[in-house]
Amino acid sequence: MQKKILIFAQQYQILAPCLWLGCSRKVYRNIMSEITRREFLRRMAVGTAVVGTTVLTGCDSKSDSQTKSTGALPDIPIDKMTYRTNRNSGDKVSILGYGCMRWPTRPKENGEGDELDQEQINRLVDTAIEHGVNYFDTSPVYCQGESERATGIALSRYDRKDYLIATKLSNFSPDTQTYEGSVQMYRNSLKMLQTDYLDYLLLHAIGGNMEDFNRRFINNGVLDFLVAEKKEDRIRNLGFSFHGSQECFDQLMKLHDDGAYHWDFVQIQMNYLDWKNAFVPSEYLYNELTRRNIPVVIMEPLLGGRLSKVNDHIVGEMKSREPERTVASWAFRFCGTWENVLTTLSGMTYMEHLEDNLRSFCPLQPLTDDELDFLDKMATEIMNYPTIPCTGCQYCMPCPYGLDIPGIFAHYNKCINEGQMPTTSEDENYAKLRRAFLIGYDRSVPRLRQADHCVGCRQCVEHCPQKIDIPSQMDRIDEFVEKLKTNEL
């Protein structure tokens, strides 16, 4: 009986029955591990299907990934944007690119959920274009599949020559990995974006290994189809975005070196923290691309907002050098300093984000060697703080057990960054910090979605581009929270 209730609980992501039964987390795990293989596989299939259709969305009307500007700020000049020239195509590209994965939303009139706020999107696009932004990056899966349509509506009010569109072949689910499915996705992108050609098309999120790449693009003939489209000028630049291993990256470069496929550009995760410290350091990726004359498009310049919410001590060091600049602007300037960077993508949901970024890039003031050394030192200090390198990208979601994975990590990191971590009961502020941590945790993550509900199924792990061992971190956080609750620290 207990097991049946738990199976029901798992299927509907309701773990309350477990609590009603007085099960400890360990008992819950043991019982779940006894579920028959058939049941397990069936539920895995449902979970995977859900992940396949909803992963890589990213819209969040409440997301606030960047430090807010404060105080009276100078006007942003409209003719000072820094541009880079794509040596291969001749495109003049704004060094700030608009990432269209987090368009603002508003409540639907019928009260049933949210929808993209087209008027606000149009205003953001107008301000961006007015200040010289001309590169807009979207995908068929961003904003629950609505980003391309909204981006197309906003951009089609301008002359097609005034902006560059980048979108992706996001064939993650099995039905889009057939030749027909992928071609349909590509044609639908053209339709949604109201255009008959794409300036930049990316094979989306190449990760894992070459087996995955071959299945999605080679064995089904999709990459050959795209190459043919390029010959017809319906795709002007063909590249990929990368989240994989160094071995996988090297093999993709070998395809280029051997002349099997030509990469016109590559999008990589690059910022001052990942430069030396990432799973595959961005310094390595950047240098490999640069020596092949392949332009670089940067994603995650702020590491999902992590580099705008650094520890107070680091904020202090940055402010003492540049009191007028935001913490985020250091990260943007780092990206723009490298000559082979074509554009730096930032998902700007709110006007204040856009304006702050425009201040960093209108014009770009490259970092000096001394400033690069300073950021290198800051990166080492950040690495010494035990935050979890979650960017909030949501690729791991949904967790089949209902955990709010990025929300849990965000609360934990926030307390560390703000110096509000209750570390030992000997600390004179311990009682206050302990209470603030626990209350903040319950406020930011509903109880049924907290770390103690992780059963260690590991379904999330392969989706995390930051290679975080999510279940281990959940164990660690759960243990910490338990110690706080029982006053055992």
Binding residues for ligand SF4, per CB under 6 A? Answer: 390-396, 399-401, 403, 405-406, 409, 454-460, 463-464, 466, 468, 470-471, 474
Q: Say if strands 96-99 and 341-347 run parallel, antiparallel, or are unpaired.
A: parallel
* CA gap 192, 187 in Å, rounded: 9
- Give least dist CB 402 to ligand SF4, A: 8
Q: How far is CA 309 from CA 68, 194, 348, in A?
A: 11, 37, 16
* CA gap 350, 43 in Å, rounded: 38
Over the range 78-87, which residues count as b (16 or more CB within 10 Å of their CB) and which as e? eeebbbbebe
Nearer to ligand SF4, 265 or 412 (CB): 412
8 A C-beta contact, residue 397 and residue 52: no
* CA gap 96, 344 in Å, rounded: 5
- Give least dist CB 45 to ligand SF4, A: 15
Task: Give me 222's structure tokens.
Answer: 């999709």
Nearer to ligand SF4, 128 or 455 (CB): 455
Nearer to ligand SF4, 14 or 431 (CB): 14
Residue the block writes with tokens 């332009």: 295
Nearer to ligand SF4, 166 or 474 (CB): 474
The dihedral sign for the CA sequence 63, 66, 71, 74: negative
- Give least dist CB 347 to ligand SF4, A: 13
Q: How far is CA 106 from CA 60, 116, 156, 273, in A?
A: 10, 6, 22, 34
Q: Which residues contact 69 (CB under 8 A, 6 or more apart)?
A: 326, 352, 355, 356, 359
- Give least dist CB 452 to ligand SF4, A: 10
- Give least dist CB 57 to ligand SF4, A: 11
Amino acid in position 469 = D
Nearer to ligand SF4, 15 or 222 (CB): 15
Name which of 292, 335, 255 is nearest 87 in CA terms.
292
At 204 the three-state DSSP class reads: strand
Nearer to ligand SF4, 100 or 454 (CB): 454
Nearer to ligand SF4, 25 or 84 (CB): 25
Residue 373, CB half-sphere, CA atoms under 13 Å: how many? 3
Label residue 123 left, alpha or beta by phi (over 0 means left) and psi (-120 to 50 means alpha). Answer: alpha
Helical (H) or strand (E) element with 443: helix 430-444
Nearer to ligand SF4, 354 or 390 (CB): 390
Query: For residue 265, how many other CB atoms are within 10 A of its CB?
Result: 24
Nearer to ligand SF4, 120 or 394 (CB): 394
- Give least dist CB 405 to ligand SF4, A: 5
Name which of 234, 295, 286 is nearest 92 in CA terms.
295
* CA gap 314, 327 in Å, rounded: 9
Cα Dmax for the chain? 70
Nearer to ligand SF4, 235 or 388 (CB): 388
* CA gap 316, 85 in Å, rounded: 36
Q: How far is CA 353 from CA 66, 106, 245, 249, in A?
A: 7, 18, 32, 32
Task: Give me 36's structure tokens.
Answer: 């028959």
- Give least dist CB 353 to ligand SF4, A: 19
- Give least dist CB 396 to ligand SF4, A: 3
- Give least dist CB 135 to ligand SF4, A: 24
- Give least dist CB 457 to ligand SF4, A: 4
- Give least dist CB 75 to ligand SF4, A: 36
Strand-pairing partners, residue 200, are: 166, 237
Nearer to ligand SF4, 157 or 458 (CB): 458
Nearer to ligand SF4, 82 or 173 (CB): 173
- Give least dist CB 399 to ligand SF4, A: 3
